[in-house]
Structures are given as structure tokens and as C-alpha cells.
Structure 1
Amino acid sequence: MAAPEVKCPTCNKPVQWTKEAKFRPFCCHRCRMIDLGDWVTEGHKIPGERAVDEMMSEELAAELLRQADKP
């Protein structure tokens, strides 16, 4: 039975899904790092609401600063 073949998510090259394909589902280290960079710069996002509301985190940060200023 032949190993399944998938397309690299970055460049669409075919990748054999085997233990020897150490970057799977990517074809190479470069494509893997490009994808990671997209996540880091928020080029990729998981749809839905954020786990922590941004306004809440700003309010929390302000409160922590106020408490830190108290003797």
C-alpha cells in the first residue's frame, strides 16, 4: 500500500506522509518556518472570540499598575 500524499500547505508541492518526511505536512524546513511566521504575525488566526477580552486585559493591567503604586 502506497503512503498517502498530501500537498504542502505553503507551496502545494506533494509530500509523502511517511516517517521519513520529517517536516510533514510541509515539504521542507523553509515552508514550515514560513507557516510559523504567519501564525506569529497573526496572518493565520483561529476563528471565534478571543479567550481573554482585550478590554478586560487592559482594565486588569491598569488595576495592577494602581496596586503597584500603593505603599
Structure 2
Amino acid sequence: MSDLNQPTPITPRKVRCPACGGISLYSSANPYRPFCSARCKGVDLGAWASEEFKLPDDTPPDDSFGDPRLQ
């Protein structure tokens, strides 16, 4: 039989861990992906829980619009 019909093995991609910057395997074999370890995953979760990661809030407060019936 020909080798053309054989599937090519998938090699896991190596990425940088968002927490520590180390090398992490991005594959189903790594249960912590994209993190390299349970520690890095926990550190990131703790940062989200303590609201260290926030999106900027550029919306004006509601009271600046006023009540349209009073104009």
C-alpha cells in the first residue's frame, strides 16, 4: 500500500505561557493549556478574580444624560 494514504502525525504546537512566559504545549495532552502548569493557571484565575484584569470603561455615567422629559 502507498504511504500517501497514511495520515501525518500531528505535532503539538509550542506556545508561551501567558502567566510565566515559559514554553507550554498547546495540545489536548496538556490539561492546563495554554498555561504550562496548574500553578500558572491558578495565578491567572486569581488575577481575574481580584479584578486585576479590567477593560477600560469609557462610558459616561447615566446621570449626564438627564431626564428627557425635563428638557
Deviation string for 1:14-38 (max 9, x for gaps)? 1111111110000111110100110
- CA distance in 2 between counterparts of 1:5 and 1:46 reads 28
Q: Report the Cα distance in structure 1 between the residues aligned to 2:38 and 2:58, rounded to whole angstroms.
A: 31
The CA RMSD over aligned residues, in Å, is 2.2
2:19 corresponds to 1:44 = no
Q: Larger helix proportion, structure 1 or 2? A: 1
1:49 Cα shift? 5.0
**Counterpart check, 1:24 vs 2:33:** yes
Counterpart of 1:62 in structure 2 is none
Which residue identity does 1:31 align to in structure 2? Answer: C
Structure 2 residue identity aligned to 1:10: A
**Unaligned runs of at least 5 residues, structure 2:** 1-9, 64-71
* Partner SS, residue 34 of structure 1: helix
So what's the TM-score if we normalise by structure 1? Answer: 0.61
Unaligned runs of 5+ in 1: 57-71
Give TM-score scaled by structure 2 length.
0.61
Rg comparison, structure with higher value? 2
What does 1:1-71 correspond to in 2, within 5 Å? 1-48=10-57
